[in-house]
Structure 1
């Protein structure tokens, strides 16, 4: 019995005196991700379009002029699809808009940014999707008569807007650069 009491007293005294000092609140830390300054070169294919891409991308081209631009350091990909226009522009536009707005269930906001480049005959829309949607950005461009190109940015991870936001902002600039430098052949 004395042994149990002695062990209990030692344990209680150890617990009481082992914690020292007042607890201090820790400041909130924010993850700071820095990406290399973007450097661009022209992607020239046998397809009906060409534009500038970030040199950090890994390009995969299929036989129907669809592209996958992979960003291994960010675990992200931009999927690009090309379709010729042949009296189907309304359907192509509806499909591109429908694809974007399928994310509305998980998105907090979808911001539309019209794009017009009359010099290269490139007209379209850039969508910035905020929230935990599967796609962070989408776009389409067309010349309204012969060519139609769509693109979607996806991260190869479960959507968490706060976590992918720095990479999404970086890649939005790459998409804008693609749209600004796109020209039809």
Structure 2
């Protein structure tokens, strides 16, 4: 009887040991197609190249909505002629709009754009954190044209979850800024 009890105890304690298995850290992997750009056909005093996965809707006064249905995001672009307005007030308004998000933003990075050949000057703002917008920009020729844009997602701003889409769209916005040209 003692032998049976002893064997049962050995089996019991030997079977309770769990093998430790190290599992790799899992990460969300969202892949987006390599961007392919075409000229956006709009009847405005400026033109630009758009990502083929985006759709362009032109509103009144050359306000342009560039929608990314797959990413659930929209880039709102507005156009204002400089004539009759001070370029300083337009620049001030664009910068103020960006820095209104500093309450929720962890950081705001500025990247200037200067293309003296095509007369395109501006600023790209990358806004990190749970702000309402993740990227903003403006471009101007400082004489006649002023274009401003803001990126918004149709979701609650959660920067960690939106990060892959934010990075993809930031590259798209930079391409729009690089390809913009003024119509005479």
**Which residue of 1 is the match for residue 163 of structure 2?**
165
> 2:122, 2:138 within 8 Å by CA — same for their partners in 1?
yes
**Which residue of 1 is the match for residue 113 of structure 2?**
115
**Which residue of 1 is the match for residue 71 of structure 2?**
74
Out of 25, 28, 52, the residue aligned to residue 28 of structure 1 is 25
Instruction: Kindly state the Cα deviation for residue 63 of structure 1 after the two structures are TM-superposed.
Output: 2.1
Instruction: Kindly state the Cα deviation for residue 88 of structure 1 after the two structures are TM-superposed.
Output: 1.9
> 2:47, 2:181 within 8 Å by CA — same for their partners in 1?
yes
Instruction: Kindly state the Cα deviation for residue 67 of structure 1 after the two structures are TM-superposed.
Output: 0.6
What is the distance in 2 between the residues matched to 1:94 and 1:24?
Answer: 57
What is the distance in 1 between the residues matched to 2:17 and 2:69?
Answer: 47
Runs of 4+ residues deviating >4 angstroms? 22-26
Structure 2, unpaired ranges of 5+: 1-15
1:48 pairs with 2:45: yes
What is the distance in 1 between the residues matched to 2:114 and 2:108?
Answer: 19
What is the distance in 1 between the residues matched to 2:17 and 2:162?
Answer: 39
What is the distance in 1 between the residues matched to 2:44 and 2:112?
Answer: 25
Instruction: Kindly state the Cα deviation for residue 25 of structure 1 after the two structures are TM-superposed.
Output: 6.1
1:83 pairs with 2:80: yes
**Which residue of 2 is the match for residue 7 of structure 1?**
none
Out of 169, 181, 184, the residue aligned to residue 183 of structure 1 is 181
Out of 133, 140, 144, the residue aligned to residue 142 of structure 2 is 144
TM-score by length of 1: 0.86
What is the distance in 2 between the residues matched to 1:174 and 1:130?
Answer: 17
What is the distance in 1 between the residues matched to 2:72 and 2:17?
Answer: 44
What is the distance in 2 between the residues matched to 1:25 and 1:177?
Answer: 43
What is the distance in 2 between the residues matched to 1:160 and 1:63?
Answer: 32
The number of residue pairs the alignment matches comes to 167
What whole-Å deviation, never above 9, does each CA across 1:110-136 have from its counterpart, x for those lacking one? 000000011111000000000111111
**Which residue of 2 is the match for residue 59 of structure 1?**
56
